[in-house]
Amino acid sequence: MRILIFAALAACTSGKDTADDSAGGDTVFEDLSDGLAADPECDDVLDSKVAGATSFFYGDFRFDGSSVSGEEQWLLFANETWRDVGGADCTVTWSISGDKGDPGGSCGSCDYGLEIVASVDHSLTDCPDDLFAGVEQFSTTYSVKLSGDDATFYFPSGDVLGTGQAAAGGATYLSTSTCVYF
């Protein structure tokens, strides 16, 4: 079964992430990917074992004035059936560049937007190429709503992409998990 990959893809780094804050110091973001694992709900479809994975997207964006850089990653945690046919936990990483500006899409109450261009970084990607065929490169605009140090990221449609943390020097998000099948 072929999955449809949507163009909101996430970034993961190991340990703590840092972003330069407006006071000249570094802001340390919690690694939102710590403790992620396969969800047993992704083991079968209608009581049939199907190769698949638990899927998360993770974004890590750094700001230098209005310039944006960073990564998004698609984190896949293989179910037993996928492992039985040679599948394994894997990650697709996209390098990000772009601009920080006005919110885009349908989030009128958001604080800013991130207009980004993403390209697969093959040196940081260990998933089979056919899983991300067709989305090696993409561009989109995310809108970001702040509440203190918390951030909610939105797709242009207004649907929530994920939640995370924000500071003057950057922002992170983690999507909720979904089951994907191959």
Instruction: Please tell me the distance from the alpha carbon of residue 71 to that of residue 96, in angstroms, as a whole number.
Output: 5
Helix (H, G, I), strand (E, B) or coil at 121: coil
Give the count of alpha carbons within 13 A of 9, CB side only. 32
The residue type found at 112 is Y
CA-only gyration radius of the chain, Å: 16
Residue 144 has pLDDT above 80, yes or no: yes
Tokens of 16: 């703590």
Domain ranges of the chain: 17-181
For the segment 7-58, what is each residue's pLDDT rounded down to a tens digit?
333 333 334 454 444 444 456 688 888 889 999 999 989 889 999 999 999 9
Residue 95 has pLDDT above 90, yes or no: yes
For the segment 101-135, what is each residue's pLDDT rounded down to a tens digit?
998 777 889 999 999 999 999 999 999 999 999 99
Instruction: Please tell me the distance from the alpha carbon of residue 33 to that of residue 84, in angstroms, as a whole number.
Output: 25
The residue type found at 174 is L
Residue 93 has pLDDT above 80, yes or no: yes
For the segment 53-84, what is each residue's pLDDT rounded down to a tens digit?
999 999 999 999 999 999 999 999 999 999 99
